[in-house]
Structure 1
Amino acid sequence: MRLATAEIDINALRHNLAIVKQMAPSSKVMAVLKANAYGHGLVKIAQCLQGADAFAVARIDEALALRAGGLTKPIILLEGFFDSSDLPILLANNFETVVHDENQLAAIEACQLEAPISVWLKIDTGMHRLGIEPEQFEEFYTRLKQSPNVKADTKLMTHFPCADDLNNHFTALQIASFTKLVKGQSDALCLANSAGIIGWPDAHFDWVRSGLMLYGVSPMLDCVGVDHALKPVMRLKTRVIAIKHVVSGDRIGYGGRWTCKEDTTLAVVAMGYGDGYPRHAREGTPVVIKGERYGIVGSISMDMITVDIGSNDKSIHVGDEVEMWGPSLPVEEIAICADTIPYELLCNITPRVSYDYQADG
């Protein structure tokens, strides 16, 4: 019996890529695969996204894993490189790098490379995390253009902190300030992340960076129940491993966190924080068994969760499948129950969870 399993729907993945292209038909698509493709499996997901124009990762080891997996598309390092010794590796593997500070620019200028590399210059328009200040743009841009270590096709980018909120006008201000700053340049522009793709079509430009939406999860605020035509790629599932009858007054799990108000029946399922399920999911967080929703009760353990199945106990048996999130139970909803975000839930899947990649046709 397979217990904790992440079932990955490749058809849904490709459907979501098609939605990105439909929303931004004039843009090239950068598929963001950082953090093990948001918990979905880095190399396998990349191999199934041949329709993307490029891949993007956060760290050089992720990029190297893609090359080792046979991926030949352009790969962009979103955080750039961290030491001048990385530059020959970038060149040898045809990696493209973001440049966001003086140290990176100086390292490129000082390095002796056998051929130039591709650079994405990141401008900070209000995220205040990575990126050069707008007043530094002319200097950085000129130095990159003059460096023999940099290809002529320098690309320009920024990042949105508030694009998930359509009522927050800061994104519009960022778009306006960025386009004003780079006016007159012929280089390719990249502004929109997943939220920008969905909510801010004026930000699409030459490239879009699709991350969370590729995996069928909405990046927008108040997203539960909103249809962006995306399909969940991951179905996290497990099995019932025990049926337990309890009576009124019984206290359930570590710390006796939950007390039975009446006689009931519990299903014990093989899932816990050791698999990446959020330990602080509140009482009543739903799971789906045989098409019906039931609420979690008691403390979430490392390996097990208890679910109140009440008077339905006769229809549920040991070995029955339990969906923790997926097409019948959006991960966005579980994130709300755990006071977190879908990104964290997907990225926290642990190595003991089995992966099952499925595709029709």
Structure 2
Amino acid sequence: MSRPIVAAIDTSALRHNLAVARQAAPHSRLWSVVKANAYGHGIDRVRESLAETDGFALLDLNEAILLRERGWKKPVLLLEGFFHASELEILDRYRLTTSVHSNWQIQALAKARLSAPLDIYLKMNSGMNRLGFQPGQVNQAWQSLRALQNVGEMTLMAHFAEAESREGIVEPMRRINAAAEGLDCPRSLANSAATLWHPETHFNWVRPGIVLYGASPSGRWQDVASSGLRPAMSLSSEIIGIQRLKSGDGVGYGARYRAAGEQRIGVVACGYADGYPRHAPSGTPVWVDGVMTHTVGAVSMDMLTLDLTPCPQAGIGSRVELWGDNVKIDEVAYASGTVGYELMCALAPRVPVTVI
């Protein structure tokens, strides 16, 4: 018999969350961001559930090709663009939309021999200081691209570093508006947070990512608790062992947890090699047979331990939800000093996945 750990992908939750994003930005077209293999959910598992989207946005060229070979006809956007000029032949063959964030990419487009023009997303640096042209360079870059026969439709793209707060979009929007002055250009600015909370950023295309999978862009579930979002991924396992502790007994590597008195703990078939965060401290929430309890001791490679005091009925074989409908992935991530994005993407290949 295989280990009892399993991840489940809820396709109805994906469709529901896409509808929530559309409702938040009803006048915009929508890119569903499926980078990092759909945030760990698997592009092949989510593409049909998100088929009502207007386009898919991602980074990896192989994932873009996969979508095309699976029959996807609508737009596919490469968020970081092409990395080598030789890749333009592939973009041409598969009719991919590419971001352009550097002058060398403009030069490569000028020299390329394409069968038809490519649609372009000109990436502007709005203050995040990752990729993109500075505001003062945008007009020149736009005009240079517009003059090329290899360039089709163009859209101005930017990204927000702090869209979780009202103040976080003020200065970036000022820069974007100044850079776009005099340009008749569609815009794609809004990430998940801006899609939910800043309608003034929506414009022509929004680009929700994390909200499609039912987690909070702020990392705090309370911020989206009233949004109607539903978790698309759950991770569950079973209790495979029981230990009865006496006062002072330690648990796990380093004995980071010691029992204050007699205590019953459960050993669960899940560890950091499965994608559960190694740094999750004692007290991280878990759901056992319909009762909320918490972890105790260090997370091991293949196992973790939890307090069974609140659930005396639990025993060998009891189901344990590590995250999902009852234990929000944001709560596990917050306790572990990270974000739900990382936990989704870190789901290990050895974990079996079922699709609901």
TM-score calculated relative to the size of structure 1: 0.94
Alignment of 1:249-264 (within 5 A): 249-264=248-263
| 2:321 equivalent to 1:316 | no
- Aligned residue in 2 for 1:123: 124
The one-letter amino acid of 2:76's match is: I
1:204 matched to which residue of 2? 202
SS at 2:274 equivalent: coil
AA of the residue aligned to 1:195? A
Unaligned residue ranges in structure 1 (runs of 5+): none
Aligned-partner Cα distance in 1 for 2:245–2:98: 59
- Aligned position for 2:150: 149
Q: CA deviation at 1:76?
A: 0.4
TM superposition shift of 1:69? 2.9
* Alignment partner of 1:159 is 2:159: yes
Q: CA deviation at 1:222?
A: 4.4
CA distance in 1, matches of 2:310, 2:324: 25
Q: Which moved more, 1:209-218 or 1:259-268?
A: 259-268
Q: Which residue of 1 aligns with 2:75?
A: 74
**What's the offset of the Cα at 1:47?**
2.0
**Match for 1:246: what amino acid?**
L
* 1:169-199 per-position Cα deviation (integer Å, ceiling 9, x unaligned): 2412222331332234333210100011111
Q: Is the Cα–Cα contact under 8 Å of residues 124 and 157 in structure 2 kept in the other structure? A: yes
Does the aligned pair in 2 maintain the 1:213–1:230 contact within 8 Å? yes
Partner of 1:72, secondary structure, is coil
Q: Show structure 2 runs of 5+ residues with no match.
A: none
2:306 aligns with: 307
**Structure 1 residue 67: deviation in Å?**
2.2
Deviations 1:10-51 (A, max 9, x none): 111111100111110000000000011111111221121111
Range with bigger deviation, 209-218 or 175-184: 175-184
Is this contact kept in 1: 2:3–2:269, CA < 8 A? no
User: Partner amino acid for 1:305?
Assistant: L
- Residue 199 of structure 1 aligns with an amino acid whose one-letter code is W
Amino acid at match of 2:271: G
Tell me what 1:272 maps to: 271
Partner secondary structure for residue 191 of structure 1: strand
Q: Which amino acid aligns with 1:34?
A: K
Asked whether 1:338 is paired with 2:339, we answer no
| Native 8 Å contact 1:76 1:95 kept in 2 | yes
Name the amino acid aligned to 2:101: H
The 1-side partners of 2:333 and 2:219 are apart by 12
CA RMSD of aligned residues (A): 1.5
Tell me what 2:211 maps to. 213
Moved more, 140-149 or 69-78: 69-78
Q: What is the number of residues matched between the two proteins?
A: 354
- Provide the rounded CA distance (Å) in 1 between the counterparts of 2:68 and 2:33: 15
TM superposition shift of 1:331: 0.8
The yes-or-no answer on 1:133 pairing with 2:134 is: yes
AA matched with 2:315: H
Partner of residue 357, structure 1: 355
The residue identity in structure 1 corresponding to 2:79 is L
- Match among 323, 326, 332 for residue 325 of structure 1: 323
Cα deviation code 1:129-169 (max 9, x no counterpart)? 00011111121111111111111x11111000000123xx2
Match of 2:24 in 1: 23
Local SS of the residue matching 2:207:
strand
